């Protein structure tokens, strides 16, 4: 029996930046791909029709308004690549769903903020809402969580979800250059935007972590409960001292199942140099999924860029030749309802502490005594010679203790006259 060709599947593309143009390039060479049928572009939309682009868009129907494209009767699947959590992107996606169109989006901010409402609308209209490209670019982690690991009780999802931040911490340590120098290089190479705030603040990773957590734990995504801190406060001294203690500082995004609900947070963490996440360098992304009965699974690959992101979009397109309509976040009525809850901040952990002390007798003893007074014991300690300003850097790895003890110790340290500036405290990842 001969196989039949499916299609054509007609897609409308809203947003013609790097990813949108990358998707058009894939469509135009689909004969070299493994799609189950033929994909046709029914129309395109962007803010400017005259902008110079690497692909010829004149051959496709042009729409000035994305929502009009979303509702066009010739469009089977609306692909949203506009960006932004609100405004035209949100309105166009809502318009497409209300019109009974399948929607594919790469918009992590939109899904993190409005994903639950959009998923409910898609379910009401009996259409698919797919967003593989919204998280970790070329890594198929959404599909793996939602489909491949449906038979696994997930306990934790953690990883490096922002290539810019990973490039910064990796390159600073490897080259010995400052944060500002490496950031400027990342911008020149295209790893960081002209305004890198979304990346370095941790917000980009937080959007992705919230989406993964909602899927992994069948939870009600509430981005207001996500705790976020970035790498913009990390300097070269922190990285060097951590390295001497056998640690690597990485921006880690985490979703954790607790008795109260789902804790989702993004923060710099110190990891043992042999930890799987510590070995991921440069601009790569990685996601580590822990659960029963499989143990731990790690997925690594390019997390951004036109090619990887466009390929993730095309993967979602391929699914829609034979759509199996299911909830966007994989949550069914029989699943245990779990809320997002704010991190309480009193977890028990080992910590990396970096301080700069005045180069004077008794300074180190005063530091360790302040820690001991709050029940914090020292596991490892390194001290550098005083720098030109007369400050002596000290780095400590503590034994495991409640964060509240560490915070009390920091308060006590703040009263020491020999403390030069504010201490740096970073939780140490202990999972193997």
* Helical pair 179-189 and 163-175, crossing angle rounded to 10 deg: 130
208 flagged as catalytic: yes
Would you give the end-to-end CA distance of the chain in angstroms?
Answer: 50
Which residues, 6 or more positions from 51, have their beta carbon under 8 angstroms from its beta carbon? 16
DSSP 282: T
- In contact, 6 and 321? CB cutoff 8 Å: yes
Rounded distance between C-alpha atoms, residue 126 and residue 129, angstroms:
10
Start-end of H helices in 258-393: 306-319, 363-373
By C-alpha distance, which of 132, 206, 111 is closest to 165?
A: 206
The Cα–Cα gap between 256 and 258 comes to 6
**C-beta of residue 300 within 8 angstroms of C-beta of residue 280:** yes
**Which residue of the set 101, 208, 225, 250 is catalytic?**
208
Rounded to whole angstroms, the Cα distance separating 50 from 396 reads 57
Helices (H), 306-421: 306-319, 363-373, 403-413
Active site residues: 208
């Amino acid at each position: 029996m001969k196989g039949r060709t499916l299609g054509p599947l007609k897609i409308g593309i809203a947003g013609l930046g790097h990813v949108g143009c990358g998707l058009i390039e894939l469509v135009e060479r689909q004969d070299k791909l493994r799609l189950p049928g033929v994909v046709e572009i029914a129309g395109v939309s962007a803010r400017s029709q005259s902008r110079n682009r690497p692909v010829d868009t004149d051959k496709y129907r042009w729409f000035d308004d994305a929502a009009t494209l979303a509702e066009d009767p010739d469009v089977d699947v609306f692909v949203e690549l506009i960006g932004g959590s609100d405004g035209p992107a949100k309105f166009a996606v809502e318009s497409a769903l209300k019109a009974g169109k399948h929607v594919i989006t790469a918009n992590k901010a939109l899904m993190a903020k409005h994903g639950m409402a959009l998923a409910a609308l898609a379910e009401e209209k009996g259409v698919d809402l797919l967003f593989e490209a919204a998280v970790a670019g070329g890594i198929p982690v959404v599909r793996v969580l939602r489909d491949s690991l449906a038979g696994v009780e997930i306990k934790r999802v953690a990883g490096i979800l922002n290539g810019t931040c990973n490039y910064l911490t990796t390159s600073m340590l490897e080259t010995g250059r400052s944060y500002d120098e490496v950031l400027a290089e990342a911008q020149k190479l295209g790893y960081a935007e002209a305004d890198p705030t979304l990346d370095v603040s941790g917000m980009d990773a937080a959007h992705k972590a919230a989406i993964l957590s909602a899927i992994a734990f069948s939870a009600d995504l509430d981005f207001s409960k996500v705790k976020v801190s970035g790498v913009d406060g990390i300097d070269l001294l922190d990285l060097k001292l951590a390295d001497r203690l056998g640690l690597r500082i990485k921006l880690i995004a985490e979703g954790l199942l607790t008795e109260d609900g789902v804790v989702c947070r993004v923060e710099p963490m110190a990891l043992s140099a042999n930890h799987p996440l510590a070995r991921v360098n440069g601009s790569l992304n990685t996601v580590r999924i822990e659960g029963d009965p499989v143990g731990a699974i790690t997925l690594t690959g390019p997390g951004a860029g036109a090619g990887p992101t466009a390929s993730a979009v095309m993967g979602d397109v391929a699914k829609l030749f034979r759509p199996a309509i299911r909830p966007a976040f994989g949550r069914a009525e029989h699943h245990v309802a779990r809320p997002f809850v704010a991190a309480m901040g009193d977890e028990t952990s080992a910590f990396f502490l970096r301080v700069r002390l005045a180069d004077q007798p008794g300074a180190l003893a005063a530091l360790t005594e302040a820690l001991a007074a709050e029940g914090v014991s020292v596991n490892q300690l390194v001290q550098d010679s005083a720098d030109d300003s007369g400050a002596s850097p000290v780095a400590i790895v503590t034994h495991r203790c409640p964060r509240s003890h560490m915070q009390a110790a920091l308060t006590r340290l703040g009263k020491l006259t020999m403390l030069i500036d504010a201490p740096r405290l970073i939780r140490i990842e202990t999972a193997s």
